[in-house]
Amino acid sequence: MIHVEHELTDMLKSGIQELHLDISDAQIGKMIAYLSLLSKWNSVYNLTSIRDPKEMVKQHLLDSLSAAPAFKHAKNVLDVGAGGGLPGMMLAITYPAIKISMIDTVSKKTAFLTQAKTELGLKNVTVYTGRVEALQVKEKFDVITSRAFSELCNFINWSGHLLADNGQFIAMKGISPSQEIERLPAGWHVESIQPLCVPGLHAERHLVFIKKISD
């Protein structure tokens, strides 16, 4: 197991170097601890269809980290349909000063997120169980994100009430979702689309930045 952990750590480190991210060894240690927790819970709770830890490093950890720079100036982020905690957990470990909230309707997933938060000592994480359209918070979010959650139109309609003035949606998508963009609700527009390059992954990835049209 220790040998496997070293291998996964090396793989993650080399991907982080390729992404030019400033992440300490202690933070990398937390990411590997999260991965091992995800693998452990996955055998019982089926949090992700990916079973191979090496594939998890590429398709979950590095995939989430490739988007991390887009969040570095955020203060209060909501990850909708957080599932096993991607990208939320990676963002929380990378940016300890940013408040990261995660919401999912499936209680076994949020039980996992709560356990991971406790075991990894992530003081900047809040976990909600329930539907995002019913969520009410005291302080709205300057960034709301999702990864493979739903069509953009639903994502905005369901969580738009939680976005602070001048806030933005950052949706993580595979191929550039041109048809979804055409179906955006009235009053919203795409500010930009940023292609991502995930180390070791030969698949298209894009970030879609969406803001409210100012009056």
What pTM was estimated for this model as a whole?
0.96
Angstrom distance (rounded) from CA 35 to CA 37: 5
| pLDDT of res. 148 | 79
> Would you call 64 exposed, middle or buried from its count of C-beta atoms within 10 A (0-12, 13-18, 19+)?
buried
Query: Which helix H or strand E contains 210, and what residues bound it?
Result: strand 205-212
Q: Which tokens hold the place of 107?
A: 């209680």
Q: What is the pLDDT of residue 215?
A: 67
Reading the block at residue 162, the tokens are: 């939680």
Q: What contacts 38, CB < 8 A, 6 or more positions away?
A: 47, 48, 56, 60, 84, 85, 112, 116
- pLDDT mean by block of 10 residues, the chain; 215 residues: 85 97 97 95 86 93 98 98 96 98 96 98 98 98 93 97 97 95 96 96 95 87
Q: Cβ distance 148 to 172 under 8 Å?
A: yes
- What is the number of domains present in the chain? 1
The predicted pLDDT at position 26 comes to 97
pLDDT at 75: 98
Q: Looking at residue 25, which CATH number applies to its domain?
A: 3.40.50.150
Distance from C-alpha of 15 to C-alpha of 63, rounded to nearest angstrom = 10
In the block, which residue shows the tokens 């309609």?
Answer: 157
CA atoms of 212 and 165, how far apart (whole Å): 9
The per-residue pLDDT for 43 is 85
- Residue whose token pair is 């055998």: 43
**Which domain covers residue 158, as residue numbers?**
2-212
Is there a contact between 168 and 191 (Cβ–Cβ < 8 Å)?
yes
Place of tokens 């191979």: 52
